[in-house]
A and B are shown apart, each in its own frame.
Chain A
Amino acid sequence: MKILKSSIILSLLIMVLYACSTEPEVDTVKPEIDLNISGAFPVNCDTLYFGEPYVIKAKLTDNVELGSYNIDIHNNFDHHAHTTEVLSCDDLEPIKETTNPYVFIEDFTIPEGRNEYTTNLDFTIPSTDNDGNEYQDGDYHFHINVTDKQGWSVQKGLSIKIKRR
């Protein structure tokens, strides 16, 4: 009986002590996307043109090691909001119906062992789809998603315009 009681109390004590001991270091820091570097592209409210070559440039950093990144472009003809936009662009076109919007979703690798990486991605928006139909111009959202090796992820959404010259 006594032994039982004291062993329970002892194990409780050990638990409490263990709980109070210092936590081991784990990576709880998410990666970051920096668009304030010189030559960053695109930035909020930029206008891109169909058929013209661009270089996507963003600085990605993490406290330990970066994972991969992903770019997603989709239309904003309905004026939906994204919380990561620093400021909204004040010259949005009127809301319009979606018929043949341009969509781009692609995943890109980051070399192993990097905690800092600046993208240097050649990028051209085709003017028409495979069937030769013209994509709609207007307001779009440009999203960058970045992960780190631990699986933390961050997103950055920008308002852009895609136009035809």
Chain B
Amino acid sequence: MLTVTAAAQSSFSLFGVVTDVNEEALSGATIIIHPLQKGTSTNELGEFQFTKLPKGLYSVTVSYVGFNSVEDSVFIDRDTEYNIQLEPTELLLEEVLVSYNLAEEAKREQTLNVEVVNEQFLKENLGGSLMKSLDRLPGVSTIDIGSGHSKPVIRGLGFNRVVVVENGIKHEGQQWGADHGLEIDQYAIDHLEVIKGPASLQYGSDAIAGVVHVQQNKVPEKYSLTGRADLTGKTNNNLIGASFLIEGRKDWLYGKLQTTILDYGDYRVPTDSVDIYSFRAPLSNQLLRNTAGYDRNFHLGLGILKSGFHSKFYVSSINSKSGFFANAHGLEPRNVNTDLHDASSRDNYYPYQKVNHTKVINTSSWVTGDLRLTSNLGFQHNLREEHSEYVSHGFMPPMFPDTMSFDSDLERGFEKYIYSGNLEAEYDLSGNTSITGGLNSEFQNNKIDGFGFIIPAFKQFTMGAFAIAKRSVSERSILQFGLRFDHGNISIKEYYDWFQSPVNDEGTETEYLLRAQALDRNFSNFSWSLGYNINPDHWLIKMNVGKSFRMPIAKELAANGVNYHHFSYEVGDPDLSAEESYQLDAGLEYSRDKFTVGVTPFLNYFPNYIYLNPTPEHDRLYGNGNQVYEYTQSEVFRYGGEIHSHFQVTQNWQLGFMGEYVYSKQLSGIKKGFTLPFSPPASALLNMKFVQPAFRSLQNLYASIDLKLVASQTNIVPPEEPTDGYTSVNLGLGGEIPFGKQAISVTMQIQNVLNEKYFNHTSYYRLINVPEPGRNFVLNITIPFKSEL
């Protein structure tokens, strides 16, 4: 297996071919060499090459989806050829086998803390939305509204402080709004990473809290045609769903088609009435009125894989319609036509939202010698419409005029066109140093529509350049330094009311009032990061210090309208400065064969954190006397961390423990001494899992119990209420049933087994006393197929 060519030099190369047992080349296989922590993947011919390796003994790990990984040691004192055959795993269910090594590799190579998730994790923890499924990860939580809309929160920071990246392109929806979920299909994810910590360096403005990186990066095997059907059912909101995937590859050409359809009814909460401020809304059959909806998603992928060149097009269209809880939308908590709403739990009346997100992405990479070039080009279109009955407020005409350009039921419309382009080059300077440089740019054009104003139309352009140097200082340690410069421009269009308001006391003179001034602002900023990690025997130790920043968004600069989800009136501040964040991150992990324990603490300082502050004022002109909230900035200090441990008790029994804690305090401003809004309470998750590799004809059986203990949150800021702690129990059960050469995979969950009524402090509905969903049985069945092409 090992042949050697003689040479007399100080650095050497390692090269070879990865094949299957039939000598068919495997392209896209991952090869990692330790302790240099270098990794590469094979090209279309199954070839790979490492250059500039110093003399030494290396451990090589070769892995490929659907095949058993191989770990081997190689001594290199000359240019060395290393060829290897991989044996297929018994099951060809590719999706369950995102390489463990890849995940470990990401953990070891990054100086920030990373969580890696594969499809199996998503299936075993399937929640109402992608982020809800990820909620289980330490340090990750969500801000929810309703059953299918969640926004990512990393260590207590959310909204525009978390960047979501799909296939290298920053996902741009309406992430500024609490009611706007993430337009990502959780059935179409091959690989997902959550970076905890300031990652502006590679991802630019907004990545202050971290990054959720979603990838559809799987390349099918040569001459294969595979696919699967995922069938899902949930009892809490009577969801039925299906996702169909078919993908295939000839020689160098591959493609993929996927569609996901979900349809769900109103979701159930363990309470008979909800107290929305001072208004009590009775519920019928504990159903949260009008929260039904549907999702219809389509994906198309097409890729070319040639020697040294890989290019992939990815097109997706995510469409959804969902209702808002009818009593808690508009100007005030209200009485609604309960007969109409409660007649069926599957229909939508006003108020509801419709969202369409279209994405076209091309990712291309070239490898020549020591240089790797990657380009990402993206186009996105996001259209979100919120519909509700026309309710005249302020000085709007009592009857909706028929001369308007928008329909009378269009409360708000947001439309966004996003053009993105990234270019990245990675160059190996010598055996132990690599340099990555890149350029990112993005242009957005945002339009608004509808009778209810909150943010004006705007255009935004951002551009950044970065360089990161990574050096293996010793066999087991890496030092990383990076610097980035960003420039951004936001140009806000002025907005006048579509109706006239009186401007004198007698009400005889009227005018179209100016609600948002034209504004043009530029922001420039340096970000940097310095990290070190070292992996002595059984230990994984990391340190990272960095500065990140975020440009204020249009809402923070220019909001001026009623928040119909919160009965408040929000006002922006055009003079806000770019938010900056300094953070120190550490990670310490100890692992033995059967035991792992780790802690990941952080310290974080913001000189000027932007948040929405409730003022003592009430709005006169536009609302129903709603309380006025203003965007403001203050100095903020935060710290916290996560702890995780894992113990393989016996071959069949696993125990796990995860905990998270965040503390925030404002050091200046009107809310000095207070915490930040939506601060997650401390929580711990205890998990016990039983696995049985085979039982009769069944395989990979598992049963697990999650016990989630959440502390009370008494550290609050107006208008929040203290939230009691709670304990919730989730059960999981699953396995595989042989089906021809494949296996049907079944996963079952019972969420909130005890049907306990509890409140989630970081849910938007917490403010109106809506508890978390009641007991929910979730069933997911995956039926794969595979044939030759």
Contact = CB atoms under 8 A, between A and B. Distances in A.
Nearest to A9: B588
A89 interface: no
A18 B638 CA distance: 11
A66 B616 CA distance: 8
B16 interface: no
Given A15-B639, A147-B627, A107 B618 contact: yes
Interface stretch (A34-42, A47-55, A80-88, A118-126): A80-88
Given A4-B543, A67-B616, A67-B617, A82 B601 contact: no
Given A15-B639, A78-B335, A151 B278 contact: no
A165 interface: no
A139 interface: no
B624 interface: yes
A159 to B, nearest CB: 12
A68 B279 contact: no
Given A5-B541, A12-B601, A145 B627 contact: yes
Nearest to B663: A19
Contacts of A153: 614, 627, 718-719
Contacts of B584: 11
A6 to B, nearest CB: 11
B716 interface: yes
B624 A72 contact: yes
Nearest to A105: B625
Given A1-B534, A28-B716, A8 B603 contact: no
A150 B280 contact: no
A84 B277 CA distance: 9
A149 B627 CA distance: 12
B618 A4 contact: no
Contacts of A19: 663
Contacts of B715: 23
Interface in A124-165: 143, 145, 147-153, 155-157
B117 to A, nearest CB: 26
B620 interface: yes
A25, A80, A84 — which one has the most chain B CB atoms within 10 A of its CB? A80
Contacts of B541: 1, 4-5, 8
A151 B614 contact: yes
A19, A84, A107, A143 — which one has the most chain B CB atoms within 10 A of its CB? A107
A1 B540 CA distance: 11
- Chain B contact surface mostly: strand
Interface in B625-650: 625, 627, 629, 639-641
A93 to B, nearest CB: 16
A3 to B, nearest CB: 11
Contacts of A82: 278-280
- Chain A contact surface mostly: mixed
Contacts of A84: 278
Contacts of A147: 614-618, 627
Contacts of A156: 278
A1 B718 contact: no
Nearest to A150: B718
Contact of B673 (A11, A18, A26): A26
A94 interface: no
B784 to A, nearest CB: 45
B278 A152 contact: no
B438 to A, nearest CB: 30
A113 interface: no
Interface string B531-546: 0001010000101000
Contacts of B719: 151-153
Contacts of B536: 1
B277, B586, B674 — which one has the most chain A CB atoms within 10 A of its CB? B277
Interface string B577-619: 0000000101010000000000101010000000001111111
Contacts of B672: 26
Nearest to A108: B618
Contact of A150 (B625, B663, B671): B671
A146 to B, nearest CB: 9
A70 interface: yes
A155 to B, nearest CB: 4
Given A26-B673, A83-B279, A105 B624 contact: yes
Nearest to B661: A19
A67 B629 CA distance: 13
Interface of A: 1, 4-5, 8, 11-12, 15, 18-19, 23-26, 28, 66-68, 70-72, 78, 80-84, 105-107, 143, 145, 147-153, 155-157
Given A18-B639, A25-B673, A147-B627, 16 more contacts: A8-B541, A11-B603, A12-B599, A66-B616, A67-B616, A81-B280, A105-B624, A107-B620, A145-B625, A149-B616, A150-B670, A151-B616, A151-B629, A151-B719, A152-B719, A153-B718
11 contacts: A4-B541, A11-B586, A15-B641, A19-B663, A25-B673, A82-B280, A105-B624, A106-B620, A106-B625, A145-B627, A149-B616
9 nearest CB pairs, A to B: A67-B616, A151-B614, A151-B718, A107-B618, A26-B673, A80-B335, A147-B616, A155-B278, A70-B625
